Structure 1
């Protein structure tokens, strides 16, 4: 590959020579630290089966909605780029991505793909139409070797903890097998479909939950059914419960009113206002259960899922058409915090894609409530410049220790080390500036850099 060029070892670090030297030292101290991945979407079945990845397109393109959304915006054929799932001709799909790869110049997606090709496969040749087949063949050859099977990569990436995201009725057999073999792959309780009466699957999921647990179809019985499944997750090593909501809204209802709303929802008779109230009360109840069983409660809020109805009908969810919304936490979560915010057992991690809330809401909340942690930059914000803005927005109010540490939140297994490395470099750059401005000593910055990749996430997620 004659056009190969080495990745800049100082990428993402400051341009100023003095600050770059400081940042380089801080980064080197954490560059090879083990990865803690307390929230993500890599399935446990991938590691349990430990089978070779199919081909470069299946691994790096299909299902990566970070990638497919911008290709779709440029007019690429949705079927060709894998929005519908498996593709007819993986090599031609790869060529299409390569032909349009210039679209990703300056984007986090482009940076991560280059990091994966370089860091995982040792390929530094720029991806374009001319190099597409060479790179495809090189990746395919690597994937055929034992060193590139999932478990070998897990060890190579130094992932000490990997959390998956799982349906409450999952039997978690894959997790039990992996844990018996010494791998810390933890399930995460994700009850969204059982808490949102506006969801098309709510009635069916609720009925299945009640049938599986044998509890009555009352509000108290429904809560008991959820408690039983949470206990199943705790017994299989879970340390968090994750909630993806459009709005972070909670409300404290009287038991009789909560039961009335549930009955109407189960009969399909409830209106939008009733559904909102039931959804908000169930979210508050989840906080109470986290106080009881110790599961860290994470709330990922503020995304309009499936913005394109036509795309949803044709290709389904998680195909690149989720769009951020303005989000407000202070009033919406006040009922939850009034009831549970001072409970010593509650850890509440708040994630948003609305940057305006970082300094206005999340940092002040985390700067007072012992239970609240500021979630890391997430989704559209998990990029170098956005991470720097996040640090500037929250640090002066909440410091470095009221956060969760970085989370990769990814389905793309091979991108995990690239994403964590991005955060480590961005944090080293930010800390170097504080040292250069006399706001931190070298020793203080070194401790913070180390804690951000270890002590901070261990504390927030009770690892």
Structure 2
């Protein structure tokens, strides 16, 4: 028996009628604003080639670890879901994988994934019945038929979603050829990159030595010498800036920073590239490189993002078979007050440096992050991230950071996703939650409604655009 798929206009708004009315009015101010997506992991090749997406499974299920980690937790093997392994592409039949997914929709009840999926199904594809085992084949066929049309090619969807700017994330050893192809295509969509140097900084990364070789080839530097290594970063950062990058991104296990003497730093580097580093030395090098990256950001103006606190690839067997980013990353307790102090001692009062800090440890919001961002000029707080980009997580973030850091030491919302079609859904959820939070402040006479309306626009559009320097003239990639 089919069941209707209905997106209630008041979803995520307060239950009390008076406050809900305020939230509706505030949401009306931001509902149709362009999307600023300054940090994410979509594939630039999609927009470079503008080829049709292959099928529903490869577009909606296989790239989305939010979805398949839940299915895996209930005993559904990844090999049945169309997930590629280190051995190559999945041999699973896409339709059978979709049927498994469709038949397990009850697992997502009450989760952000359910909201995002239903938004995609209703708003992007026009479905009026829910996805389940009975409608699985109909969904699969209709989605595939639409994906074969020009209206569902990547660039057309980018324009339809009203995306003003979209950042992808690449490593220093990436040639940026897809970004060059986008620039040369004549298409007007703003798809930029971000500099993610983790593979050439983290000595514990399984690709470290191979990444260093590619890094050397692309930069033309002797990256086995300390000065050559630092210069290679400067060269690649400049290339990324030419490709539109306005930010760097650092996904370290902790937020540790260090400010070693030049001699100590060089000696540590020699140990690192020789492959002889202990775990403690690898951590110290990552810490030193955060400070080195901050110094370079002060030179070249790239905004620095720090995304610490994830125990990545926790499931050893999944990592060995499928590689990174397969839904097995787990949040850890994270210190910021002591960890960031070496970097802040050196750069914390610089007017021309901007550092955006994220966390997976919600206990640090009120205790550490809000007080730090509420004082140091260089610090801004990234939004509720990853496991916490849910309605409840977003509310907790606002409740625990606003009283100390205010709203203007935060940077709005970014979706941080590989799932391209979910971007409008994720931004809509964030706008609804923020409008609901602001409506409560208005109803409690803590803020006038005209202030809340201006603030809602800032949170949805102005703050992310300003924080990531996307309000400045666009660079053109050299031929």
Q: TM-score scaled by structure 1?
A: 0.97
For 2:205, the equivalent position in structure 1 comes to 199
* Alignment partner, residue 143 of structure 2: 139
Q: Does 1:156 align with 2:160?
A: yes
Q: Tell me which residue corresponds to 1:185.
A: 191
- The answer (yes or no) to whether the contact 2:69–2:326 under 8 Å persists in 1 is yes
User: Please, which of 277, 283, 291 is the counterpart of residue 276 of structure 1?
Assistant: 283
Q: Report whether the alignment pairs 1:304 with 2:306.
A: no
Alignment match, 1:388: 395
Once residues 158 and 83 of structure 2 are traced to their aligned partners in structure 1, the CA distance between those partners, rounded to angstroms, is 27
Question: What is the rounded CA distance, in whole Å, between the counterparts of 1:32 and 1:97 in structure 2?
Answer: 31
Partner of 1:349: 356
Please state how far the C-alpha of 1:417 moved relative to its aligned partner.
0.3
Determine if the alignment matches structure 1 residue 446 to structure 2 residue 449.
no
- Residue pair 2:47, 2:154 contacting (<8 A) in 1 also: yes
- Does 2:119 align with 1:112? no
2:90 to 79, 86, 89: 86
CA distance in 2, matches of 1:137, 1:57: 11
Alignment partner of 2:307: what SS? strand
Q: Which residue of 1 is the match for residue 255 of structure 2?
A: 248
- 1:96-107 to structure 2, matched below 5 A, reads 96-107=100-111
Is 1:12 the counterpart of 2:16? The answer is no
> Aligned pair 1:209/2:215, yes or no?
yes
| Distance across 2 between alignment mates of 1:276 and 1:145 | 49
Which blocks of at least 5 consecutive residues in structure 1 are unaligned?
A: none
Counterpart of 1:409 in structure 2 is 416
Residue matched to 2:28: 28
For residue 235 of structure 2, what is the aligned residue in structure 1? 228
Looking at structure 2, the residues matched to 172 and 310 of structure 1 have their Cα atoms a distance apart, in angstroms, of 32
Deviation at 1:353, TM superposition (A): 1.1
Distance, in Å, in 2 between the alignment partners of 1:204 and 1:174 is 21
Partner secondary structure for residue 251 of structure 2: strand
Shift of 1:393: 0.8
The alpha carbon displacement at 1:211 in A equals: 4.1
1:129 equivalent among 127, 133, 149: 133
| Distance in 1, Cα, partners of 2:94 & 2:177 | 32
Partner of 2:42: 42
SS of residue matched to 2:116: helix
> What SS does the corresponding residue of 2:306 show, helix, strand or coil?
strand
Helix, strand or coil: the match of 2:80? coil
Deviations 1:141-192 (A, max 9, x none): 2112111111000000000001010121322232233234222111101100
8 Å Cα contact 2:81/2:92 also seen in 1: no
Please provide the CA RMSD for this pair: 1.4
User: How far 1:31 sits from its partner (Å)?
Assistant: 0.6
Q: Find the aligned partners of 1:63 and 1:174 in 2 and give their Cα distance.
A: 19
**CA apart distance, 1:282:** 1.1
Q: Please list the CA deviations of residues 114-143 of structure 1 after superposition, one character each: whole Å capped at 9, or x if unmatched.
A: 111011111131111111112222212211
Could you tell me how far 1:200 is from its partner in structure 2?
2.3
TM normalised by structure 2 equals 0.94
The answer to whether structure 1 residue 456 and structure 2 residue 463 are counterparts is: yes
Deviation at 1:54, TM superposition (A): 0.7
What is the CA deviation profile of residues 357-400 of structure 1, one whole-angstrom value per residue up to 9, with x for unaligned ones? 11111111111111100001110000111101111011111111
1:6 to partner: Cα distance: 2.5
Paired residue for 2:473? none
**Do the aligned partners of residues 101 and 36 (structure 1) sit closer, same or farther apart at CA in structure 2, a change above 3 Å counting?**
same
Q: Determine helix, strand or coil for the equivalent of 1:454.
A: helix
Shift of 1:411: 0.6
CA distance in 2, matches of 1:213, 1:113: 42
Q: What is the aligned partner in structure 2 of residue 61 from structure 1?
A: 61
1:87, distance to aligned residue in structure 2 (A): 4.5
Instruction: Quote the offset at 1:2 in angstroms.
Output: 5.9
Deviates more, 1:137-146 or 1:12-21: 137-146
- Aligned residue for 1:376? 383
Contact 2:170/2:195 (8 A) holds in 1: yes
Q: How many Å separate the matches in 1 of 2:458 and 2:293?
A: 29
CA distance in 1, matches of 2:225, 2:361: 37
Q: Secondary structure at the match of 2:232?
A: helix
Residues 195 and 283, structure 1, Cα contact 8 Å, conserved in 2: no
- Aligned partners of 2:234 and 2:192: how far apart in 1? 18
2:358·2:381 contact (CA, 8 Å) conserved in 1?
yes
